[in-house]
Amino acid sequence: MNNLSIKPLGDVIELKYGKPIPSKERLANGKNFIYGANGILGRTNKFLINGEAIIVGRKGSAGQVNRVSGKFWPSDVTYYVLGDKNADIDYIYFLLQYLNLSKLAKGVKPGLNRNDVYAINAPIPKILDQKKIAHVLSQSDSLFKKRQRSISLLNEYVRSSFLEIFGDPVTNPKGWGKKALKFFGEIVTGNTPPRNNNDNYSSNFIEWIKTDNIVVDKIYITPATEHLSETGLKKARFVNSGAVLVACIAGSIESIGRVAIANRKVSFNQQINAIQPNEKVNSFFLYWLFKISKLYVQNQATRGMKKILTKGEFEKITMIIPPLDLQNKFAEIVLGVENIKQKMLAQSDALGLQFQSLMQKSFSIN
């Protein structure tokens, strides 16, 4: 990078305060977007800014960064940044992403103090070099986001296929029979072998799955970071390939009901309830049944500080159970899409790593 200099961000950008907008000016069919800390908040016919800008979350989703253009209204929980002749707006956008401003947020309701941002030393090359770097990063980011959109479209296709075949599983317009989950198969709650005995964790005999391994929109559990020994497995609980694992204890209600399929024998902790389906239930059908019924499942959880769906509560949840031939028909659709999706996910992961590598190369000053 030519003509590189290290400067405090306060010498390069100004974080301007957004402004409140009266409720009467918020219109469902307004021409312009109102931006909050985490993206679009609503619409209005008014605008505060007309141009190229960056929205930075000030309160709530503090440090969140969004690139915007045209006429818009930044709300009072945001800052906004405008480009000028010395700062390319896209270069600054990627730079702020790289800096992860959310780590500077403070307070019970996290807030971002702009003076903390201004104090950060950052690489600021000449404007032409800024534009070149931003162009390369934009191309890489665009490829990554296109692949992500393609994956989202595949997920939506499967979701639509489920609803077409079975209808909404909660309202059950097709009148399928419903049964408690305990009739879908064997329900197993995970556990943690004693930590005071190192022999339980002394080898990689079997994966020990946690809720972190149940990832949204990944149909199979991800590889575990911790394993049990053969001794540990004797004190643990496990399921075989085809079991459906559901997050049932979490710090927030949104995490309850996340679901994934085990495509291998695994053990797992007590935050997870698993169903080993019987001969009347297809694993892929059950996976999507949980995905589409997630809110319904969450509503069964206790409402304390720690959201919990106990085994007793879990196995009483009633869900539709259509004929197995229809479940199998749907599973064929899922498997066909998954074959494509797995290739796309691998490409997406590679593109994501490429983008992060380019960001590191462009902005690291160490």
Name the pTM for this structure.
0.76
| Residue 342 clears pLDDT 90, i.e. is over it | no
Instruction: For domain 177-321, give the fold.
Output: Adenine-n6-DNA-methyltransferase TaqI; Chain A, domain 2 (3.90.220)
pLDDT, position 202:
85
- Decide if domain 6-125 falls under CATH 1.10.1060.10: no
Sorted by sequence, the CB contacts under 8 Å of residue 125 that are 6+ apart come out as: 1, 2, 3, 4, 5, 133
Instruction: Please write the tens of the pLDDT for every residue from 94-113.
Output: 999 999 999 999 888 889 99
The residue extents of the domains of the chain are 6-125, 127-150+323-366, 177-321
Alpha-carbon span 337 to 332, nearest angstrom: 9
As a whole number, the mean pLDDT across the chain is: 93
| Residue 17 clears pLDDT 60, i.e. is over it | yes
Whether 177-321 and 6-125 are alike in CATH topology: the answer is yes
| Average pLDDT estimate for 170-197 | 96
Alpha-carbon span 89 to 80, nearest angstrom: 11
pLDDT, position 255:
84
Alpha-carbon span 320 to 306, nearest angstrom: 28
| Residue 1 clears pLDDT 50, i.e. is over it | no
Compare 306 and 127 and report the one with higher pLDDT: 127
| Residue 303 clears pLDDT 70, i.e. is over it | no
Contact 92, 61 (CB under 8 A): no
